[in-house]
Structure 1
Amino acid sequence: MTDGLVIPPGAGRKFVTKAQEVTFKVTGDHSRTGSLFEVVVPPGFDVGAHVHTRTEEIFYVLDGELELLAFEPDERTPEDWRSWRGSDGRRPVRAGPGSCMFVPAGCPHAFTNPHDTPARMLFLSAPPPDHEAYFEELLEMFDSGTANVDAVINLREKYDIQQITPLRFDAAES
């Protein structure tokens, strides 16, 4: 491809389920270096602390507020990443619009929406296309009603996502 790409607001390939909304803006079909998604994070959604061995990610908060983690803790406790502490005293942070989180490969990270209103973020994943396929399969699971914790964990493992703390995708589970 020698031409660039302009994606107007609201455009892109959109997946909407009861649990999540993801709009693919730039994919591996367009770029060799990264995939770009706009993600609506529903109230109570907690991706759980996890790590990738080969993927870098950047999260940029557009609307709302998320709680973010991107560091190796003194101890990886298996239940709740929100209590983690880094050896330098670092803790998870509340992040509003304009906040950005960079996650290199191998770095434990997580985000949650602890509020009762949706948040929106821009999410860059490199290299493509693993996260594109992951999102497609995950959202199909949500849509078909086959999403349960074990099925989602198995899917995440398939796409180089090693879960450390539980994923919570139902506000009632938070």
Structure 2
Amino acid sequence: MQKEDEGEASWFLGTLVTNRVTGEETDGAYSLTEHLLPPNYEMPYHIHHGEEERFYIIDGELTLHTEDGTLTATPGQTVIIPRDQPHGYRITSDEPTRKLVLLSPAGFEEFFHEAGEPAEARELPEPTEPDIQKLEALAPRYDLELLGPLPSSDE
């Protein structure tokens, strides 16, 4: 059984991402990562062409944006994002949001660590500007398509 402070942890785009189950442990079937995200955090629109994503919200709240509209997910809810579906999200709670992300098949969990940096502590990092060039260079290797910012709240 894994303890809370076990699993490779990285600071990725101002968040803390911890591997809980790796593709190596599941023969590539799936991976499970835990994400701690600060209030007002935004993940831009993107598409995973290689895997399905499932979010399980533990704490906090996020609003998911897809081409079909928006939905708000709160603790205890699961959100399924099929491969090839454009999506992004915004953290809408005043507290940090914690979620589990199941990626099937496995492999994409390595993107968080390759695009990020090893976490010096199991806490949110200081905010920094993202290295867009690094993200764009890594995206094709992980079958990821970056589409741009989320729509504003007015749209």
Q: Once the 2 structures are TM-superposed, how far is the Cα of residue 26 of structure 1 from its aligned partner?
A: 0.5
Count of paired positions:
142
- Structure with greater Cα Rg: 1
In the alignment, structure 1 residue 125 sits paired with structure 2 residue 121:
no
Provide closer, same or farther for how the CA distance between residues 45 and 150 of structure 1 changes in structure 2, counting only shifts above 3 A: farther
State the distance in 2 between where 1:27 and 1:112 align. Answer: 26
Higher helix share: 1
Aligned partners of 2:39 and 2:94 also within 8 Å: yes
State the distance in 2 between where 1:26 and 1:125 align. Answer: 10
In the alignment, structure 1 residue 136 sits paired with structure 2 residue 113:
yes
Identity of aligned residues (%): 30
Q: Once the 2 structures are TM-superposed, how far is the Cα of residue 133 of structure 1 from its aligned partner?
A: 1.9
Aligned partners of 1:141 and 1:147 also within 8 Å: no
- With structure 2 as the length reference, what TM-score do the two structures score? 0.78
Structure 2 counterpart of 1:123, one-letter code: V
Aligned partners of 2:53 and 2:102 also within 8 Å: yes
1:18-46 Cα distance to aligned partner (Å, 9 max, x none): 81111101001200210100100122321
Extract unaligned runs of 5+ from structure 1. 1-5, 74-85, 168-174
State the distance in 1 between where 2:116 and 2:95 align. Answer: 20
Partner-residue secondary structure (3-state), 1:31: coil
In the alignment, structure 1 residue 39 sits paired with structure 2 residue 35:
yes
Structure 2 counterpart of 1:22, one-letter code: V
Partner-residue secondary structure (3-state), 2:43: coil
Provide closer, same or farther for how the CA distance between residues 18 and 57 of structure 1 changes in structure 2, counting only shifts above 3 A: closer
State the distance in 2 between where 1:17 and 1:108 align. Answer: 20
Match of 1:104 in 2: 82
Provide closer, same or farther for how the CA distance between residues 107 and 55 of structure 1 changes in structure 2, counting only shifts above 3 A: same
Extract unaligned runs of 5+ from structure 2. 120-124, 151-155
Q: State which drifts further: 33-42 or 103-112.
A: 103-112
Q: Once the 2 structures are TM-superposed, how far is the Cα of residue 104 of structure 1 from its aligned partner?
A: 1.4
Q: Once the 2 structures are TM-superposed, how far is the Cα of residue 121 of structure 1 from its aligned partner?
A: 0.2
Higher strand share: 2
1:103-156 Cα distance to aligned partner (Å, 9 max, x none): 111111222213442100000111112x2221111212998x784233323322
- With structure 1 as the length reference, what TM-score do the two structures score? 0.70
Q: CA RMSD in A?
A: 2.6
Match for residue 61 of structure 2 among 60, 65, 83: 65
Question: Structure 1 stretches (4+) deviating beyond 4 angstroms?
Answer: none
Aligned partners of 1:20 and 1:139 also within 8 Å: no
Match of 1:170 in 2: none
Q: Once the 2 structures are TM-superposed, how far is the Cα of residue 15 of structure 1 from its aligned partner?
A: 2.3
State the distance in 1 between where 2:39 and 2:56 align. Answer: 18
